[in-house]
Amino acid sequence: MTFKSSIENVAQRNAIVANEASEFKLPYTFTDKKGESFKAKVDGRLSDSIYIEYKDHRLNSKTSLQSSTNELYTQLRYRFPAYRGLPLEAMPTHDQTSGKLWNAGFQTDCLNHAWNHSAYKQSIVAKRLAEDGIRLIIIFHKHPAMVEYRGQKMPFQAYYTFRHGLETYTYRHWVETVRPQLLKDHP
């Protein structure tokens, strides 16, 4: 099941390169810090060596697929009383839970807790892609200019680079500056 953010829809309408806004499943199996395997996809490719992920919201701090799933279950039980008291083995999968919350209008629950919106997940994916010479660029439609980390304010791009090794841009900066330069450098 695919849930499109508003920036993905904008990107699809404005894409100049055919694959730039075409979802692409990655041919890797990734492993989180607890040893759980997961698959991933990116929202598009600018080239064979530059993959793109679009986000509407800041990334969350879930450190594993299981911690993310547990938080989504908490939200599902809160939002839908029928799930209260169900044993874990009777609960829907992470993706099904996220989809149910998203489709019921609780997108913020997904943004705050789902694994696809985790900075740690994005970092795992970016590091693996980098091993093959592929850059993962995360483009934010909206994000506070500054974030607080350990009591200090810092620009969000510096935070994601420092804390998670991620390359990030605002959508406007991507469209006006970064993308044109990359297309010029990597025709």
Three-state secondary-structure class, residue 76 = helix
Task: Output the pTM of the full model.
Answer: 0.84
Question: Could you tell me the residue ranges of all domains in the chain?
Answer: 6-59+122-185, 65-113
pLDDT tens track for 82-114? 999 999 899 999 999 999 999 999 999 999 999
| In contact, 165 and 81? CB cutoff 8 Å | no
| In contact, 160 and 138? CB cutoff 8 Å | yes
The pLDDT-based confidence of 141 (bands split at 50, 70, 90) is: confident
pLDDT of residue 132: 95
